[in-house]
Structure formats: structure tokens, C-alpha cells
């Protein structure tokens, strides 16, 4: 497995793959890898001859400097996981090269995809995400890139940007990988103590209870949101950031839920921000009883 830092070296690696007629799949990450990330690598392996993973905690997508400072970094363990998963190259871009002095170019996706949910809760977040993803794709020039559905809004925003800018990389979305008790895997879970980890379960539980209520006939979005909020109240120190029913048709907030809707939420568990969502028509979240 090649471990590459300079942009020029990554560009050269990709050029060689292209000359050799190899298809490249790309998995961008911020490191602190877990099985969710590896599931994307496994998907990528089925789509191309070569798999590149980037590990880069992108400063421009953090609206909160403390969140950036506390973001877990576990490079050696990440490299071991990538090696084990059969990754061909890991790219670890450096901020001095990504955003040198004088840097002033950013990409904004405007409209319904970025006027709600995480876009409101984290101003500038998707601007940072789109900017870094466009930069990463511009260097790696993969045939296909794999993103996790866990970050649903990110998938939609990135797909839109890649289409609008004619970047030419196919975007594939892979399902959310969860712990056996239902908590969506996230690098941020590492920051949770066992007690906080237990309380964080309020998020998938609330979403699943609301999904079940929808399946039983409750279609009023406010009622579904209330179910999530009530479940979170049971878990002290879990604060709701947002919870909304959004239709995937047009990505609009919906007063009444239907099968095209997702219920999406973000919470703070003693300051650690976690997001999750459940497609109302889709599979249940495997939430264990106490």
C-alpha cells in the first residue's frame, strides 16, 4: 500500500493508474477509521481496479474550532486498517498545501439542499465540504467515489456539486453501518465515555420509535418529531440540535410524512455532536431494548 502526502505525488500515482488503464475508486475520509469507513472501501473494491482512501481533517468544514481541535486522529491504526482492507493508496494531504497562504477559492451549493438541517446548524459546513471534495477529486481524478448514507445531506450536496460542475466522477452511496445496539458508527463516538455512549442511544431509539409510529399510521411530522424529542428527554444531557421530516422529492421540509421522506436529527451528547436519520419507508434501525 502506498502512503502519499504531496499533491504532486498523488497526481502522479493517479496518472500512472490511468495510463495502465486501471479504474480508480476513491473513499474520502477524515480518519479515525471504523467499520463504516471500511464498508465504503469494500464497496469501492467491487467498483474499480484500484482503491484510494484520503485521510484529511479538513479545517474549512468545521464551524466550531473546539470540534476541530478535538477531532480524533489515529493515523497509524487507520493505515493498518486500510492495509488490511486491501487499499492501494492512502493519501494524507497536508493543510499547508491544501490551503496555502492567500487561498481564496470556495464552492457553494445553493438552494434547498443547503438551507436546512446541518447547513443551518453548521454555517459554512457544506461550503467547506464541497470545496475540499472538489479539490480531492481534482487531484485523484477517480472514476467513482463512495460516500456513506449516514451523512445523507452530504451525499446529496456532493452529488449535486459533482453534476453541476461536470466533474465526471460517479458518486455511489453506501448504507450506514451501525453498532449492534443501533448507534450509527462515527469517528466522534470515540469521544464518548461509556455513560455518554449509553445516552447517545436515545438518538437511534427516538428515530426508530418515530419510524414505527409512522408505519402505524402517524403521518403528522410534528408528532413524529415530538416522539424523537420525548425519547431524548429520557436521556439526560442529550440535547436536540435539529429534527425534521424532509422529503427526498425536492429536499423540502414536509408537514405530513410519506414514504419519500426521511426523519433526520442531530444531537449534542455533552457537547459531542452526532447525526442520524431514518428513511420512513425503509429498514428499521436495530435498536435493542434495555
CB of 39 to ligand AMP, least distance (A): 6
Alpha carbon separation from 221 to 106, 239, 266, 287 (Å, rounded): 35, 19, 16, 22
* CB-nearer residue toward ligand AMP: 185 or 245: 185
CB of 1 to ligand AMP, least distance (A): 18
Residues at the interface with ligand AMP (CB under 6 A): 29-30, 36-37, 39-40, 147-148, 150-151, 174, 176-177, 184-187
CB of 91 to ligand AMP, least distance (A): 14
d(CA 132, CA 97): 12
Catalytic (active-site) positions? 37
Give which of 82, 7, 80 is closest to 45, Cα–Cα: 82
* CB-nearer residue toward ligand AMP: 17 or 30: 30
CB of 250 to ligand AMP, least distance (A): 22
* CB-nearer residue toward ligand AMP: 38 or 246: 38
CB of 6 to ligand AMP, least distance (A): 22
Amino acid at each position: 500500500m502506498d502512503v502519499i502526502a504531496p499533491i504532486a505525488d498523488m497526481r502522479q500515482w493517479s496518472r500512472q493508474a490511468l495510463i495502465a488503464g486501471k479504474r480508480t475508486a476513491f473513499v474520502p475520509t477524515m480518519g479515525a477509521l471504523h467499520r463504516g469507513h471500511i464498508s465504503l472501501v469494500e464497496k469501492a473494491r467491487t467498483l474499480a481496479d484500484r482503491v484510494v482512501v484520503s485521510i484529511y481533517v479538513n479545517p474549512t468544514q468545521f464551524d466550531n474550532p473546539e470540534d476541530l481541535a478535538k477531532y480524533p486522529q489515529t493515523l497509524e491504526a487507520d493505515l493498518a486498517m486500510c492495509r488490511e482492507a486491501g487499499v492501494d493508496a492512502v493519501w494524507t494531504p497536508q493543510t499547508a498545501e491544501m490551503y496555502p497562504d492567500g487561498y481564496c477559492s470556495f464552492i457553494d451549493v445553493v438552494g434547498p439542499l443547503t438551507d436546512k438541517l446541518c447547513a443551518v446548524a453548521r454555517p459554512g459546513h457544506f461550503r467547506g465540504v464541497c470545496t475540499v471534495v472538489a479539490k480531492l477529486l481534482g487531484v485523484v481524478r477517480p472514476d467513482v467515489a463512495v460516500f456513506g448514507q449516514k451523512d445523507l445531506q452530504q451525499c446529496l450536496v456532493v452529488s449535486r456539486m459533482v453534476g453541476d460542475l461536470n466533474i465526471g466522477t460517479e458518486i455511489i452511496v453506501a448504507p450506514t453501518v451501525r453498532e449492534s445496539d443501533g448507534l450509527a458508527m462515527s469517528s466522534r463516538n470515540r469521544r464518548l465515555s461509556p455513560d455518554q455512549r449509553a445516552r447517545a442511544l436515545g438518538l437511534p431509539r427516538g428515530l426508530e420509535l418515530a419510524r414505527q409510529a409512522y408505519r402505524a399510521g402517524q403521518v403528522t411530522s410534528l408528532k413524529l418529531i415530538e416522539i424523537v424529542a420525548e425519547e431524548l428527554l429520557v436521556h439526560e444531557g442529550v440535547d436536540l440540535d435539529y429534527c425534521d421530516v424532509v422529503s427526498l422529492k425536492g429536499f423540502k421540509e414536509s408537514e405530513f410524512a410519506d414514504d419519500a421522506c426521511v426523519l433526520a436529527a442531530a444531537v449534542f451528547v455533552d457537547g459531542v455532536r452526532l447525526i442520524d436519520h431514518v428513511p420512513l419507508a425503509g429498514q428499521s434501525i436495530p435498536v435493542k431494548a434495555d
